[in-house]
Structure 1
Amino acid sequence: MFPQHGPGRKHLRKIELTDWQREIVAKYPEQLLRGLFHSDGCRFVNWASKPGRDKRYYYVRYLFSNKSDDIRNILTDALDLLGIAWRRPRWDHIAVSRKDAVGVLDGFVGPKS
């Protein structure tokens, strides 16, 4: 059971994995990431343009949003474990935007069910 179950608001209380949960995450980080992105994340097509140009380019991106520092840290620890590049565009968001990193996530996260 993931430790978000309990009394009080998630972002106001401590959420940490126990030793046995960390062992499972170390063995199966893909399943944890899939669950986190399916619960509090999304996969979408983003666009950008270069300064001084009117042309847009489009790319796929994963975005995870959660107000709990602990849950975001659990996510980023699992991404680091798999060598997946991520960044923090806002204090409560984690983004995976690089083409190779998105390709890795596409291999096991997939569309929400």
Structure 2
Amino acid sequence: MVGHAHRIRLGHWQRDIVDAHPDRFPRGLFPSDGRHTTNRVRSRRSDGSVRGYADPRRFLGATPDDIVRLAEAAPDRTGIAHRRAPRDLAVGRAR
């Protein structure tokens, strides 16, 4: 854990709110504890043309593991694409 000697857990009343609104919990975490970037991707198709797109991507890192685990549960429940690295959570738009 980074900077915390105790576990970070939601109380029962907090869990009820997060369960009722799983998309809103990470929306509060990412602006305060995360960073935002644009993921630009270019790929070459079989016909030789190049396709490009840009997706917003948010990262939650340098954050206690307990908070990252709590934040990771919301994309799981809402179907939002995400990936977890050892100390980072990346969330993007589903393709």
Task: Using structure 2 for the length normalisation, give the TM-score.
Answer: 0.71
SS at match of 2:86: coil
Matched with 2:86 is: 91
Correspondence 1:23 to 2:16:
yes
Runs of 5+ unmatched residues, structure 2: 44-49
Contact conserved, 1:66 with 1:72, CA < 8 A, in 2?
no
Asked if 2 retains the 8 angstrom alpha-carbon contact of 1:40 and 1:64, the reply is yes
**In 2 relative to 1, CA 21–14 (structure 1 residues): closer, same or farther, beyond 3 Å?**
same
The count of residues paired between Structure 1 and Structure 2 equals 86
TM-superposition CA deviations, 1:69-90 (whole Å, max 9, x none): 11001001112121222102x3
Counterpart of 1:92 in structure 2: which amino acid?
A: R
Post-superposition, which runs of at least 4 consecutive aligned residues in structure 1 deviate over 6 A?
A: none
> Which protein has the bigger strand share?
2
* Contiguous gaps of at least 5 residues in structure 1: 1-8, 101-113
Counting only pairs closer than 5 Å after superposition, residues 21-60 of structure 1 correspond to structure 2 as 21-48=14-41, 57=52, 59-60=54-55
Q: 1:98 to 1:35 in 2, by over 3 A?
A: closer
1:81 to 77, 84, 88: 77
2:59 corresponds in structure 1 to 63
Question: Conserved in 2, the CA contact under 8 Å of 1:45 and 1:58?
Answer: no
Give me the TM-score of the superposition, normalised by structure 1: 0.62
Q: Structure 1: how far apart are the matches of 2:59 and 2:52? A: 18
Fraction of identical pairs, as percent = 37
